[in-house]
Amino acid sequence: MTPEILLVLAILVITIILFATEAFRVDVVAILIMVSLPWLGLITPAEAFSGLASNAVVAIIAVMILSYGVGRSGVMDRIARPIIRVAGRSEKRLIGLVAAGRFDLLVHAEYRRGRPLPASRDADLPEHAHP
């Protein structure tokens, strides 16, 4: 094995350990890795930042930023409090409540689009709702 491969493997192991132990926030670890690879001469600076051209990477960064803001604002606490009050300490009840809420959103979204759900194809829907 070449020294470069050993160095990349060492960085990979360190990255996995940092992600697993959560010694630092995930975004901090990602930025440290993105900076350390070109600093060590394993890739060029242009290659390090070329990943930011991907829509998927930018979307993940945006989701992380938005989730941090929503978490700090207390909105999630206000949404979670009634759910936890009903579910209590039962994980199964909590999963059931979240799944039922998600299904309810799905039903409403599909009905508003005018599409029947697969199980309700024969249901009495307005004429414009049939595909």
Amino acid present at 53: A
What is the residue-wise DSSP string for 61-108? HHHHHHHHHHHHHTHHHHHHHHHHHHHTT-HHHHHHHHHHHHHHHHHH
Q: How confident is the model at residue 105 (pLDDT cuts 50, 70, 90)?
A: confident
Give residue-wise pLDDT tens across range 90-103. Answer: 888 888 888 888 77
pLDDT for the residue numbered 123: 52
Give residue-wise pLDDT tens across range 48-74. Answer: 888 788 888 889 888 988 988 888 998
CA dihedral 24, 25, 31, 35 (to 10 degrees): 0
What ranges do the domains of the chain cover? 3-70, 75-129
Residue 86 and residue 97 in contact, taking contact as beta carbons nearer than 8 Å: yes
